Chain A
C-alpha cells in the first residue's frame, strides 16, 4: 500500500483514487496537494509493488529523461504503467512525465521511453529564442477535449523545459504553444494525456485542468 496523503482542510474524498508515480527525482507535493483539494484519494507509488488499486495515474515531471527512464525500469514502474494503461486506466504525464510516453528523446540518445505514443522528444533550436523555455505562455486549443472544459483559449500556463514532444500522429495534439515555432503543449490519445507545462504551478488555469482530469 502506498502512503495515504491527507491534510486538514482537504475536501472530503469523492472516491477517485489517484496513483502518483514517484521515481525518486523530485517533488510531488504540489501535485498531490492539488489532487487532494479536488477530493481525490491520492497515493504515492514508489515501486510497482506499492500499487494496490487506482482509477487514474499521474506521472509528474522532474529530472532528466535518461535518469528518469532508468529509474522507472529499476522500480518496474515502466511495466506497471504500460499494464495499467492497457487495462484502460486514465493516465496523465506532466512535462518529463509526458516525454517518457514517447519512443525516445534527444535529451538521452539511446535511452528508450515507454513507447506508448509513437514519436520523439526534441530540443528547441536556440535560433532567436532562449532555451530553456521558462515562464508563462499561452495554450491554443485545437478543438474541444474534456480536459479543457472551462479553459479559455489562449490561457496562460507555466512552462519550464528545453525539450518538447513531436508525436508522429499530429491528430493527438489538443493544444499548441508558440515559442519560436508551434509545439504540442497538450496531447490526448485514448486514455492517455500528456501536458508539457506544469498545471500544478499554473495557478487557476492549471488547477482547473487537474480538476478536469480528476473528474473525467
Chain B
C-alpha cells in the first residue's frame, strides 16, 4: 500500500540552511548535506529544499548543494525557489534533484509546465501554490486567491482553478501552502487541502500550519493530503519525524516506519 509521506522542508540561502538549529547530532546545522543526512536517519520520506538565495548570480551554489546531497543520501528530494525556465529545471535534475517545483514562473508562463512535463516527465514537475482565503465580498466568489512572488503579490486568480489548469498542463504534484495557516502552528488548512485534493487527481503535499502530531493526522485523513510538509517544527525539534510517524501509525494511517 502506498504510504502517506512526511516531508521536512529546508530553506537554503547562499548554499546554507537558514534557521538551522545546532542539535548535538549535527556538527554544522547550516550544512544542507548534514541536515539531509540527519533527516534521512530520522525516517523522513522525502526532503524539500527551497532556495531563497536572492541574487541570481549566486544560483550556481544551489546546483553544487544539490549535487552533494544526491551523492550523500539515497532518498528522494525536491528543489524549488526561483526556478524560471526549462534550463533551470534541467540543471537541477542533472545535478540530482528528483523533482523540481515551480511557482511564479509557471503562473506567468503556463506553457512551461507542458513543455517541461513532456520533456522530463510529469512525475518530476511539482507546482507550488501559495493560496490565501478571500475576504467575503459581494460580487466575488468565495474561495482562495493565488499569490506569487513568495506570497507577496496577489494575482486575483482562483487558486483551485489554477491548480486544475496546472494538472491539465502536465503537473505531477501540487505543493500547497495555506498562507492563512502558515506560521500559526494551529494546524493545516483542512478545508483548502480537501478542496484541492478533491479537485485534482495528482498527489497533494499540504504545507503551512503544522503545530502538533494531531495536525498531521488531520491533514492526511480529513484533509485528504498525500503528504504533509513542515519546516520549523522539525528544525527546532518541537516534533521528531519518528514521533509523528509513530503517532500516525498508531492511529491507523499507513506510513513507512
Q: Residues of A with Cβ closer than 8 Å to B?
A: 7, 25-27, 29-30, 33-34, 62-64, 67, 96, 126, 129-138, 156, 158-162, 178-179, 198, 200-203, 206-207
What separation, in Å, do the CA atoms of A132 and B122 have in the docked complex? 7
**Residues of A with C-beta under 8 A to B3:** 135-137, 156
Minimum distance in angstroms from A95 CB to a CB of chain B:
9
What separation, in Å, do the CA atoms of A29 and B71 have in the docked complex? 6
Besides A135-B226, A136-B45, A162-B172, 9 new A-B residue pairs in contact (Cβ under 8 A), listed by A number:
A64-B119, A132-B123, A134-B172, A136-B2, A158-B76, A160-B123, A160-B124, A161-B121, A201-B76
> Are B70's CB and A30's CB within 8 A?
yes
Interface class of chain A by DSSP: mixed
> Are A160's CB and B99's CB within 8 A?
yes
Complex A-B: 16 CB contacts under 8 Å = A25-B119, A27-B94, A62-B93, A63-B119, A130-B202, A130-B203, A131-B201, A132-B123, A134-B172, A135-B2, A135-B46, A137-B1, A156-B3, A160-B124, A202-B74, A203-B75
> Are B40's CB and A135's CB within 8 A?
no
Q: Which residue of A lies closest to B173 (CB)?
A: A134
**Residues of B with C-beta under 8 A to A137:** 1-3
Minimum distance in angstroms from B157 CB to a CB of chain A:
24
Minimum distance in angstroms from B253 CB to a CB of chain A:
13
Q: Does B96 sit within 8 A of A, measured CB to CB?
A: yes
Minimum distance in angstroms from B70 CB to a CB of chain A:
4
What separation, in Å, do the CA atoms of A136 and B93 have in the docked complex? 20
With contacts A131-B201, A198-B76, A201-B75 taken as known, whether A27 is within 8 angstroms of B97 at the C-beta atoms is: yes
Q: Does B158 sit within 8 A of A, measured CB to CB?
A: no
**B185-208 near A? 1/0 per residue, CB < 8 Å:** 000000000000000011100000
Most buried by B among A137, A158, A198: A158
Q: Which 3 A-B pairs have the closest CB atoms?
A: A27-B96, A132-B123, A136-B256
Minimum distance in angstroms from A173 CB to a CB of chain B:
19
User: CB within 8 A of A30: which of B5, B96, B120, B226?
Assistant: B96
Q: Which residue of B lies closest to A210 (CB)?
A: B74
Q: Does B67 sit within 8 A of A, measured CB to CB?
A: yes
> Are B76's CB and A160's CB within 8 A?
yes
User: CB within 8 A of A130: which of B40, B75, B120, B201?
Assistant: B201
**Residues of A with C-beta under 8 A to B172:** 132, 134, 162
> Are A135's CB and B45's CB within 8 A?
yes
Q: Does B105 sit within 8 A of A, measured CB to CB?
A: no
**B1-26 near A? 1/0 per residue, CB < 8 Å:** 11111000000000000000000000
> Are B118's CB and A64's CB within 8 A?
yes
Minimum distance in angstroms from A62 CB to a CB of chain B:
7
**Residues of A with C-beta under 8 A to B124:** 160
Minimum distance in angstroms from A179 CB to a CB of chain B:
6
Residues of chain B in range 213-246 having any CB-CB distance to chain A below 8 Å: 226-227
**Residues of B with C-beta under 8 A to A201:** 74-76, 98
> Are A96's CB and B93's CB within 8 A?
no
> Are B120's CB and A62's CB within 8 A?
yes
Residues of chain B in range 118-132 having any CB-CB distance to chain A below 8 Å: 118-124
**Residues of A with C-beta under 8 A to B98:** 160, 198, 201
Q: Which residue of B lies closest to A127 (CB)?
A: B201
> Are B121's CB and A63's CB within 8 A?
yes
What separation, in Å, do the CA atoms of A27 and B4 have in the docked complex? 26
**Residues of A with C-beta under 8 A to B74:** 30, 34, 200-203, 206-207
What separation, in Å, do the CA atoms of A91 and B4 have in the docked complex? 33
> Are A64's CB and B120's CB within 8 A?
yes
**Residues of B with C-beta under 8 A to A34:** 74
**Residues of B with C-beta under 8 A to A96:** 121
What separation, in Å, do the CA atoms of A97 and B40 have in the docked complex? 26
User: CB within 8 A of A26: which of B1, B40, B75, B120?
Assistant: B120
**Residues of A with C-beta under 8 A to B173:** 132, 134
Most buried by B among A26, A129, A159, A200: A26
**Residues of B with C-beta under 8 A to A29:** 67, 70-71, 95-96
What separation, in Å, do the CA atoms of A184 and B28 have in the docked complex? 42
What separation, in Å, do the CA atoms of A64 and B120 have in the docked complex? 5
